[in-house]
Amino acid sequence: MDRSRAIIGADAKFVGTISNVKSIEIEGAVEADLTAEKLSIGATGKFTGQVTSDLVVIGGAYDGIMQAGSIWATETAQIAGEIHYQSLQMDRGAALNCRVVHNWQEPVGTAEPVEEAEGAGDDTVE
C-alpha cells in the first residue's frame, strides 16, 4: 500500500489540517489547510482552505489562498480566492473568479550580470 498517497472519496467530508502526504486526490468536500507535493481536486471535489503545493490539478471547485509551483485548471474547474503560481495552464471552460498572482522568481546565482555597453550613456557629440 502506498502510504504517501491519500484519497478523499466523493461522499466523504473532511475538516481539519492535512500534512505529511506527497499526493492527495479529492473527490469529496474538504475544508482544510493542506501541504502536499501534488493536489488533485476531481470534478466532484470541493476544497476550501489554504494550499501549499508543487503541483495542483483542479477539476472541481477551489476557494482559498493557494501557493503552487504549477497549476492546471481543467475545463470543469471553478476557482475563487487567491492563487499564487509559477506556471498556470487553463483549459477552455475553466472559471477563474479570483486574484491571480504570478510569483516566478529567478533562481539564485543564475542571473548574468548586466554589463553596460561601451559608450552607452555618453551624450558627447564629436
Q: What local confidence, expressed as pLDDT, does residue 19 receive?
A: 85
All three cell numbers of 101: 498572482
- CA neighbor of 42 nearest in space, from 76, 91, 4: 76
Contacts of 116 (CB under 8 A, 6+ apart): none
As a whole number of angstroms, the distance between CA 86 and CA 26 comes to: 23
All three cell numbers of 108: 539564485
As a whole number of angstroms, the distance between CA 91 and CA 75 comes to: 5
Q: What percent of the chain has pLDDT over 70?
A: 79
Phi then psi for residue 53, to 5 deg, are -155, 155
**pLDDT (average), residues 13-28:** 93
Query: Is the model's pLDDT at 118 over the cut of 60?
Result: no
Q: Is this structure's pTM higher than 0.95?
A: no
Weakest-pLDDT range from 10-14, 63-67, 70-74, 111-115: 111-115
Q: What local confidence, expressed as pLDDT, does residue 108 receive?
A: 54
Q: How many degrees, rounded to 5, is the angle at CA 101 between CA 64 and CA 85? A: 80
Q: What local confidence, expressed as pLDDT, does residue 110 receive?
A: 47
Q: How would you classify the pairing of strands 61-73 and 78-90? A: parallel
